[in-house]
Structure formats: structure tokens, C-alpha cells
Amino acid sequence: MDATNAADLWDRVTGAQPDPTTWLVVSTGVIAFAVVVFRTAWRIARNAITIAHEGGHAVVAVLSGRRLDGIRLHSDTSGLTVSRGKPTGLGMILTAASGYTAPSLLGLGGAWLLAANHITLLLWGTTALLAAMLVMIRNAYGVLTVVISGAAFFLVSWLTGPDVQAGFAYAVVWFLLLGGVRPAFELQRKRRHGGAYDSDPDQLARLTGIPAGAWLLLFHVVSLCSLLAGGRWLLGL
């Protein structure tokens, strides 16, 4: 690739795209809400939340100096991220706390990019993150899920026009913001019925001495605040 083509590609990725219509922004939000609310659709789409959840664990583990061994994504939408390092301390606490907050914070970051009309940058940036995550996947289902997700982002960004790209990007960000709220409530319900004894809040309680319920409350606060702030950005309020 010569310098001119590289510059053109860079301008295409980082440049601003036209404002989408209000109809598109609202309709993609309604579609994302329906996917989160209806059980059958959620059971399938929740894989995307799991990718973000485990990706959050992985990124924070690496940033905090831990050694990332691998990530597994399962067909029941559960996942596991394994890292090595000091079993206590700030790095381990941040790693454990990053999973349930990651989808909402990614959605918030995506809403900020869309508010600045950086639709292509969001699509390509997500593709790059999924490609980096793929290297650390350690099971076949996880590879399949990440490859399909990454291919969807790449193909939409490369082959479709501005309207399709905008619709796809807004639907994804709405889904992260709305879908990021539900897992903490699901976990709370499981704990109320005596399940999920080794969940992230339980690990955090053992690490910090702060009750698991307080960590669940933090996850609720982060996801709901991200939804409110991200929603305002997406709607141009």
C-alpha cells in the first residue's frame, strides 16, 4: 500500500460521517431493547455481552500487569478468563470488577464516538479489538463466536453504505448499553435463589472484605449511569 492509499484509508477510518436521522437512532434503540427483553432473542444475543464481559477481564488483567493465559466462551453464554499473577491486591481486584462493567462502559465509549459522528472508527476499532481477542481464545465455540462477530463488523464497514453502517453501529451501541444492565439483575436473582456462589462479586468480597451485595450495587450503578449518559449522547440531548 503506497502512502496516498494509506492516507486515504486513514482519512476514511478517522473522518466524521453524516448525522443519522432521528428515526434511525430511535428505531435501532427500540430493536435493541426488544432483543434484551425477549428471552429467546436475549439467549442468542447475550453472547455479545459475554464477549465484552470476558474482554473486559482480559484487558484489565493485562493493563494491571497480570499474565493472560486464555479466554473461553461457552454456548450457554458463560465465559472464563484465566490470568496469572499475584492472587490479591489492586490488580486482581480491578480484573475481577471489570467484567460486569465492561459492556456498559464499552457502550458508553461507543456512544461518545457516535455522538462525534465517528461511525467508521467505531466499526474498525471494534474489529481490531475482536481480532486481538481471538488470539487468546482457547476453545472452538469461542473462536467461532468471535470470528463471526469480527467478520460482521468488518463486512459492514467495508461493503455497505453510510446508512447501513450507521444503523448497525447504533444498534450495537444501544445493545451494549441496554444489555449491560440485565446481567447484574440476572446474577442478583441467581444469588437470591442460592446459586452463583463463585461469581465475580463473591470473588471481590473475598479479596476486599466488602460484601458481595455492595459490588452488585456498584455494577447496577455503572450500567444504569452508562445507559442514561450514553442514551443522551445517542439521542443528541
At which residue does the C-alpha cell 450495587 appear?
217
**pLDDT of amino acid 11:** 60
66 and 91 Cβ atoms separated by less than 8 Å: yes
- The whole-angstrom separation of Cα 125 and Cα 137 is 19
Q: How many residues does the chain have?
A: 237
Residue pLDDT, tens place only, 76-135:
999 999 999 988 899 999 999 999 999 999 999 999 999 999 999 999 999 999 999 999
> What is the enclosing helix (H) or strand (E) of 121?
helix 119-134
Residue 14 has pLDDT above 90, yes or no: no
Residue 41 has pLDDT above 80, yes or no: yes
Band (213; pLDDT cuts 50, 70, 90): very high
**pLDDT of amino acid 166:** 96
Predicted TM-score of the model (pTM): 0.93
**pLDDT of amino acid 192:** 83
Residue 193 has pLDDT above 80, yes or no: no
